[in-house]
Amino acid sequence: MRILLTGSNGLIGRAVNASLAAEGHDVFCLTRPQSRHQERMIHWDPVAGSINKGELENFDAVVHLAGETIVGRWTPAKKARILDSRVKGTQLLCESLANLNKRPPVLVAASAVGYYGDRGDQLMTEESSVGSLYLSGVTKAWEEAAEPARTNGIRVVNLRIGFVLSKAGGGLAAMLPPFKLGVGGRVGSGRQYLSWIAIDDVVGAIAHAVLTSSLHGPVNAVAPNAVTNREFTKALGSVLGRPTIFPLPVFAARLAMGEMADNLLLASTRVDPVRLRETGYEFKYPDLRGALRHVLGKNL
């Protein structure tokens, strides 16, 4: 297949690019001009709204993963970049795809379980309503920005991705230094739910979404078994062989991270991957401890 990929420099994008290339697909990366990629590049600038539409013809699928990282202090400028990079970039891409002579049959666009917000122990499915946190509003607008592609006959899958397990980057990589030193612990009460997924299953879910014609709209990309922050902490400590006796109080999390703490660390989001399961996706790593052992190279 001839596949167009955005966000190829990100954690998920690197893994997707490597997997697709290994399977023999022709992958072209939609990148900014300053990108380090040298081959099979197509340039765009989502901030400036520029893209060469002629180079978007004749793709079999588009995988759209680009967006400003949410890690960092959420200043007003940072929050604007988080929103604009997702909404403006998706609008530009989807409007361009919609106006092609030969549109791609499918667009798999990244989204996030942040859509659901802080919902306690409620089990969220793809049919659940949007939450009330900042990231909930961002994610809703992000998904809606793909409408031009959807209304012009492209099958759009909004992949709501959970907490990605990878030692190469993201939240888990940031947690590893204190946990390896034995000074990690639960955040706040530890009762808040975390919906996680191994990086291998993110890649697998994207491939499944591309190939499964019955999939469209929101699709939860999380493992079948969400856990509490306390359970996650214990599992990570066990896999690393380290104690987890130093909790991070709520006030300390908010002092260190501001609004990001309420959206990421303290929000409880328990999500069920209904549509992946119904369409036959088989998770490589459905168990948390097994997934952690795999991504951290701790297999017995």
pLDDT one-digit tens code per residue, 57-67 = 999 999 999 99
Mean of the per-residue pLDDT values of the chain: 94
**pLDDT, position 257:** 87
Quote the tokens at residue 267: 């929000």
Picking from 115, 108, 112, the residue whose alpha carbon sits closest to that of residue 146 is 108
Query: For the whole model, what pTM was predicted?
Result: 0.95
| Strands (DSSP E) found in the chain | 2-6, 26-31, 41-45, 50-51, 61-64, 106-112, 123-124, 155-161, 163-165, 193-194, 196-198, 217-221, 227-228, 270-271
Of 271 and 300, which is predicted with more confidence?
Answer: 271
Query: Residue 256: is its pLDDT beyond 80?
Result: yes
Quote the tokens at residue 104: 């791609």
Radius of gyration of the chain (CA): 19
Domain spans, the chain: 2-163+197-222+271-283
Q: Binning pLDDT at 50, 70 and 90, where does residue 73 land?
A: confident
Query: Residue 37: is its pLDDT beyond 60?
Result: no
Task: Scan for tokens 């600038």, then name that residue.
Answer: 45
**DSSP H or E segment with residue 164:** strand 163-165
**pLDDT, position 34:** 65
DSSP characters over 165-218: E-TTSHHHHHHHHHHHTT----BTTS-SEE-EEEHHHHHHHHHHHHH-TT--EE
**pLDDT, position 215:** 98
- The arithmetic mean of pLDDT across residues 120-128, rounded, is 98
Q: Binning pLDDT at 50, 70 and 90, where does residue 33 land?
A: confident
Is domain 2-163+197-222+271-283 in CATH 3.40.50.300, yes or no?
A: no
